Amino acid sequence: MDSSQFRKAAHAAIEDIIKYRDTISERNVLPSISPGYLGPLLPDAAPEDGEEWSKIQSDIDRVIMPGLTHWQSPKFMAFYPCNASLPGILGDMYSGAFNAAAFNWICSPAVTELETIVMDWVGKLINLPDCYRSDGEGGGIIQGTASEVVVTAVVAARERILRRRLIDMPEGEEKIDKMAEMRGKLVAMGSEHAHSSTQKAAIIAGTRFRAVPAPQSAGFAVTKAALRKTIEECKARGLEPFYYTATLGSTATCAIDDLVGIAELAKEFPDIWIHVDAAYAGSALICPEYQHLTKPMEDFDSFNFNLHKWLLVNFDCSAFYIKRRKDLIDTYSIVPSYLRNNFSESGLVTDYRDWQIPLGRRFRSLKVWFVLRTYGVNGLRVLIRNHIKLGEYFHSLLLSRTDVFKVITGPAFALTTFVLNPKKVEGATEAQDLLAGNKLTQEVYEAVNRKGEFFLTSGVLDGVYAIRVVSATENAEEKYLKALFEGLIELAGEYRDGYRDKVVEQAI
Amino acid sequence: MDSSQFRKAAHAAIEDIIKYRDTISERNVLPSISPGYLGPLLPDAAPEDGEEWSKIQSDIDRVIMPGLTHWQSPKFMAFYPCNASLPGILGDMYSGAFNAAAFNWICSPAVTELETIVMDWVGKLINLPDCYRSDGEGGGIIQGTASEVVVTAVVAARERILRRRLIDMPEGEEKIDKMAEMRGKLVAMGSEHAHSSTQKAAIIAGTRFRAVPAPQSAGFAVTKAALRKTIEECKARGLEPFYYTATLGSTATCAIDDLVGIAELAKEFPDIWIHVDAAYAGSALICPEYQHLTKPMEDFDSFNFNLHKWLLVNFDCSAFYIKRRKDLIDTYSIVPSYLRNNFSESGLVTDYRDWQIPLGRRFRSLKVWFVLRTYGVNGLRVLIRNHIKLGEYFHSLLLSRTDVFKVITGPAFALTTFVLNPKKVEGATEAQDLLAGNKLTQEVYEAVNRKGEFFLTSGVLDGVYAIRVVSATENAEEKYLKALFEGLIELAGEYRDGYRDKVVEQAI
């Protein structure tokens, strides 16, 4: 492919991208193909000779498009959003041109330095305390996903507590034996409603894991008392809690742990590394009305949120902030001879490879820089506040029909969870009502996704099967939430009452 | 940014990309800026209001370009290459448009299914044994970097040996205690010349690490006998070796471990997970003349190579093949309620999140698909063979001046390592000669990089300071190697003999 062939192909790709984005609301979010659809559509080996771009391009419509789930659609209300944007795509185009495995400063100074600068911009934007800034002992780094961040923090926390406890022991086999023994006693903790990444990180780090209870009575959040109880239970068993993921916006309900209380606890237990996972809700911190939430971070060790969720930066881009970057470098820095260079040894530059698990790094700060500059702080605030308002709107729709729906949580950062009320049965026990409600809610939920126009997810909250709705794509609008609501009413008629016409009439 | 603004911006970006690539050989590879250059050129916070694209675009030339190291330049001969290509850039454009956190099948079936298909294509292309194919018990997955792959393999290996040893023990706290105790005895192994990622992976996994000697007398490769000796030494100390990274193309010299011998050993020690890291050299396996190397893989557990190094797929794209995918899933699968879905539970689909550390996944198979189809198998073979020939050419240049240079290793997969001969000093000991040679080689090496036209790396091989040269970018040509060689001769005159004119005359 020469330059002029590329120009032609790229212009065609741009038209495909524009058309895709401009017409996305007309598609069903979920594809209707079955597992294994793609194999029969493609040859079973790479072609011997190169093919024309026009042939390759036509295959995108023919074989790829039917198998896509459209996360950029305003009818996508599942999980949390994963928003791309046009300046984000431009960022990746330049990143591809400047392609490098930029693992240390000299491998491409602009990659490192722009990342430091935009991470400081973002840290200020979300009102993260100054201690997380690169001009002190902290700093930000772009990672792929929140789950990578959590593994990185858990492993660094595991090694930090060992270093601290064995600071007086001379290096050697005896110390290595002692460290191995101590590792076996360590316990990572996370809310029972924290993302499963903390549990997975504990597996990867080879430590134990304890879920801290976060019942409905506490709003599905971890309280200071609950965390203290878990810590004390561990210690009573001779185990050593060393890490806790505090949640600012849990996956299931967008609940917020008692950060102020946990910050007090952090002072009592300074060897427990507290990481705050704000993967989705963290983007809302760009709005002053949420910024009081960041005050307790001063007493924690690290923080992350995903700009690729709610802040229009193409996947992947998780911002990971560390209060003392030394806590990462002490664990992750290894310098074989082929990576030595005078710049790194001068101590004047940042080598982000020593802050993370992988070696190589992409030029991801470009897309962040482009998005921040294209939208501006005010443009991004408008976006977030619009989604918050849409969440309140959907919540108000549910409240208008308490005969059909019961809200479980929210609206919290645009997420509402709810159930369908089962038919009243004379003399049914509470447990029977719960089972009936769970069955109905699951049936309606599965019917929505089977239809495929909208995509929702569900979760189990203290035994209650609930539907989650969060509408926060760039092109989200009230009308889509209204259409979803009407569809839910209709399905409630079908599945709950065994008839539909009357309910539909009421709804329209 | 609306569609028409995007069209205009993207067309301008395409012209930037074309111009950058078409003129890249005219630039110095290394930038001439100093650490901290970027800060004073940018504001210290994100703008309040959105900016015009033209303003943002002009900043790329103004502030980014001066800070780039040009990995796509034919004068880049450092590390190993990190080749982008035009179809690779198109792949990332579509991937940005279809942006999704595609962690399981239903999150975007095309993302999963195309990945399975192109990984099978690539597996066939490099003649990997059938057991690594998705239609049996194995399969391929795209990971970011070889270092991520190695961590993923080490952790899975650690858990596999524990599962096997404790298969008869009932689940519960007692088993967890026993596992913790056993983890403390485990030893991961890698060649002393393996990439540092194995040592880093052992730190992350919380296990011990042993480097297996690979001296010059063994061609810097690990022999069966050396690996057996390390295993036996571990066992004699009461430790349990559980993992070995075999190297097909070491970082320093592109050496290949004795794979046939190690495969024999693997049968004796079936609980040791053998992973083959072919990060760079693996791409050469697309040529039949190298495919005999893959036969021993039948007896190993996993294999990876980086298509982003030598096979023109934009960074990042490391192909990770596993013989029994269950070995990954048994460690990495966690299914909280919000990730449950009927497709995953049917067992008919692949959820790649269960094969890896992070949750979310990009649509990276698109760029692989585009590159394989645009170049075709034959086009890629031409590329690899051209680079092999260039390596032989550079080697022949060095041999033409044995008065100045001494080859240490290679040409191996286009990589040659060499030193400069120091001035003969009457009565100097061997150790003094070595020191003088190291000093001279390092001085010349640093002078090349200081100049910045070319970028080389160095390494220390059994105490010998050597320069590495590998010219394997898409636009590599003899003339650049010739120019480098002449520059080296000139610098040898300056640093070794204290004069330059005569030497320069000889060289030109």
CB pair distance less than 8 Å for A108 and B67: yes
Give, rounded to a whole angstrom, the gap between the first and last alpha carbons of chain B.
55
Question: Cα-flanking dihedrals φ and ψ of residue A359, to 5°?
Answer: -90, -60
**DSSP secondary structure letter of residue B76:** B
> Which pLDDT score, from 0 to 100, does residue B342 have?
78
Radius of gyration of chain B (CA): 25
Q: How far apart are CA A459 and CA A465, in angstroms?
A: 6
> Which pLDDT score, from 0 to 100, does residue B412 have?
98
How many beta-carbon pairs under 8 angstroms link A with B? 464
Nearest to A121 among B45, B95, B206 (CB): B45
Set of chain B residues whose Cβ sits within 8 Å of the Cβ of A107: 69, 71
Helices then strands, each counted (H, E), chain A = 16, 11
Lowest-confidence range among A425-429, A484-488, B222-226, B297-301?
A425-429
Helix (H) or strand (E) holding B123: helix B109-125
- Which residue, of B349, B384, B414, is where some domain finishes? B349
Give, rounded to a whole angstrom, the gap between the first and last alpha carbons of chain A.
55
- Given a cut of 90, whether residue B249 has pLDDT beyond it is yes
- Given a cut of 70, whether residue A495 has pLDDT beyond it is yes
Residues B178, B307 share a domain: yes
- A374 is a domain residue: no
- Residue of A48, A160, A315 to mutate, interface with B, max B Cβ within 10 Å: A315
Q: Are A167 and A221 in contact (CB under 8 A)?
A: no
Residues A428, A499 share a domain: yes
Residues B460, B336 share a domain: no
Using CA coordinates, name the residue in chain A closest to B115.
A38
A438 Cβ contact partners less than 8 Å away, ≥ 6 residues apart: A419, A463, A464, A465
Q: Mind listing the pLDDT tens digit for each residue in A266-276? A: 999 999 999 99
- A254 is a domain residue: yes
A260 Cβ contact partners less than 8 Å away, ≥ 6 residues apart: A295, A296
Please give the average per-residue pLDDT across A255-265, as a whole number.
98
Residue A215's CATH number: 3.40.640.10
Structural domain of B293: 141-349
Compute the nearest-CA separation of A39 from chain B (Å). Answer: 7
Q: How far apart are CA B14 and CA B41, in angstroms?
A: 25
Q: How confident is the model at residue B336 (pLDDT cuts 50, 70, 90)?
A: confident
Please give the average per-residue pLDDT across A473-479, as a whole number.
98
- Residue of B1, B41, B377 to mutate, interface with A, max A Cβ within 10 Å: B1
- A47 is a domain residue: no
> Which pLDDT score, from 0 to 100, does residue B501 have?
46
> Which pLDDT score, from 0 to 100, does residue B194 have?
82
- Which of B 152-191 lie inside 8 A of A, CB atoms? 155, 158-159, 176-177, 180-181, 183-185
Average pLDDT, chain A: 95
CB pair distance less than 8 Å for A7 and B14: yes
Helix pair angle (A86-97, B86-97), 10° resolution: 160
Q: To 5 degrees, how large is the angle CA A450–CA A454–CA A460? A: 75
Q: Are A314 and A88 in contact (CB under 8 A)?
A: yes
Bond from prior residue into B316 cis (ω within 30 degrees of 0)? yes
> Which pLDDT score, from 0 to 100, does residue B195 have?
86
Q: Mind listing the pLDDT tens digit for each residue in B459-484? A: 999 999 999 999 999 999 999 999 99
Residues B285, B406 share a domain: no
Residues A391, A260 share a domain: no
Between strands A302-306 and A318-322, the pairing is: antiparallel
Q: What is the signed CA dihedral for B15, B21, B25, B27, rounded to 10 degrees?
A: 60
A268 Cβ contact partners less than 8 Å away, ≥ 6 residues apart: none
Q: What is the signed CA dihedral for B147, B150, B152, B154, rounded to 10 degrees?
A: -140
Q: Are A313 and A299 in contact (CB under 8 A)?
A: no
Q: Mind listing the pLDDT tens digit for each residue in B27-76? A: 999 999 999 999 999 999 999 999 999 999 999 999 999 999 999 999 99
Q: How far apart are CA A162 and CA A147, in angstroms?
A: 23
Residues B416, B487 share a domain: yes
Nearest to B315 among A45, A101, A460 (CB): A101
Residues B167, B294 share a domain: yes
Q: How far apart are CA B49 and CA A372, in angstroms?
A: 9
Q: How far apart are CA A259 and CA A242, in angstroms?
A: 18
CB pair distance less than 8 Å for A17 and B93: yes
- B385 is a domain residue: yes
Structure-block tokens of residue A139: 């700093």
A172 Cβ contact partners less than 8 Å away, ≥ 6 residues apart: none
Strand arrangement, sheet containing A273-277: A139-143, A318-322, A302-306, A273-277, A240-247, A186-191, A208-212
Between strands A208-212 and A139-143, the pairing is: unpaired
Q: How far apart are CA B319 and CA B276, in angstroms?
A: 12
Set of chain B residues whose Cβ sits within 8 Å of the Cβ of A100: 68-69, 71, 82, 315
Q: How far apart are CA A250 and CA A254, in angstroms?
A: 4
For chain A, percent of residues with pLDDT exceeding 90: 92
Residues A154, A215 share a domain: yes
Question: Is A68 an interface residue toward B (CB < 8 Å)?
Answer: yes
CB pair distance less than 8 Å for A66 and B110: yes
- B62 is a domain residue: no
Q: How far apart are CA B499 and CA B489, in angstroms?
A: 12
Nearest to A72 among B53, B99, B145 (CB): B99
Question: Is B1 an interface residue toward A (CB < 8 Å)?
Answer: yes
- Residue of A328, A335, A357 to mutate, interface with B, max B Cβ within 10 Å: A357
Q: How far apart are CA B319 and CA B260, in angstroms?
A: 22
Q: How far apart are CA A311 and CA B234, in angstroms?
A: 50
DSSP B369-397: HHHHHHHHHHHHHHHHHHHHHHHHHHHHH
Please give the average per-residue pLDDT across A142-149, as a whole number.
96
- Given a cut of 50, whether residue A447 has pLDDT beyond it is yes
Radius of gyration of chain A (CA): 25
Residues B283, B326 share a domain: yes
Question: Is B96 an interface residue toward A (CB < 8 Å)?
Answer: yes
Residue A477's CATH number: 3.90.1150.170
Lowest-confidence range among A120-134, A172-186, A492-506, B256-270?
A492-506
- A151 is a domain residue: yes
Q: How confident is the model at residue A497 (pLDDT cuts 50, 70, 90)?
A: confident
Task: From A46, A336, A282, A327, select the one nearest A146 (Cα to Cα).
Answer: A282
Q: How confident is the model at residue B499 (pLDDT cuts 50, 70, 90)?
A: low
Q: How far apart are CA A232 and CA B319, in angstroms?
A: 45
Question: Cα-flanking dihedrals φ and ψ of residue B56, to 5°?
Answer: -65, -45
- Which residue, of A313, A330, A363, is where some domain finishes? A363
Domain count, chain B: 2
Residues A354, A383 share a domain: no
Q: How far apart are CA B363 and CA A68, in angstroms?
A: 11
**DSSP secondary structure letter of residue A218:** G
Question: Is B223 an interface residue toward A (CB < 8 Å)?
Answer: no
- Which residue, of A311, A333, A363, is where some domain finishes? A363
Helices then strands, each counted (H, E), chain B = 16, 11
- B488 is a domain residue: yes
Residues B430, B336 share a domain: no
A283 Cβ contact partners less than 8 Å away, ≥ 6 residues apart: A126, A305, A306, A307, A309, A310, A311, A384
Q: How confident is the model at residue A69 (pLDDT cuts 50, 70, 90)?
A: very high
Nearest to B48 among A83, A111, A378 (CB): A378
Q: Are B131 and B321 in contact (CB under 8 A)?
A: no
Alpha-helical regions (H) of A362-407 = 365-399
Q: How far apart are CA B465 and CA B439, in angstroms?
A: 8
Q: Is A167 exposed, middle or buried (0-12, 13-18, 19+ CB in 10 A)?
A: exposed
Q: How confident is the model at residue A243 (pLDDT cuts 50, 70, 90)?
A: very high
Residues B400, B297 share a domain: no
Q: Supply the pTM of this predicted model.
A: 0.96
Q: How confident is the model at residue B502 (pLDDT cuts 50, 70, 90)?
A: very low
Q: Are A111 and B36 in contact (CB under 8 A)?
A: no
Task: From B276, B271, B327, select the one nearest B300 (Cα to Cα).
Answer: B276
CB pair distance less than 8 Å for A49 and B88: no
Q: How confident is the model at residue A504 (pLDDT cuts 50, 70, 90)?
A: very low
Please give the average per-residue pLDDT across A188-196, as a whole number.
92
**DSSP secondary structure letter of residue A494:** I
Helix (H, G, I), strand (E, B) or coil at B34: coil
- Given a cut of 60, whether residue B504 has pLDDT beyond it is no
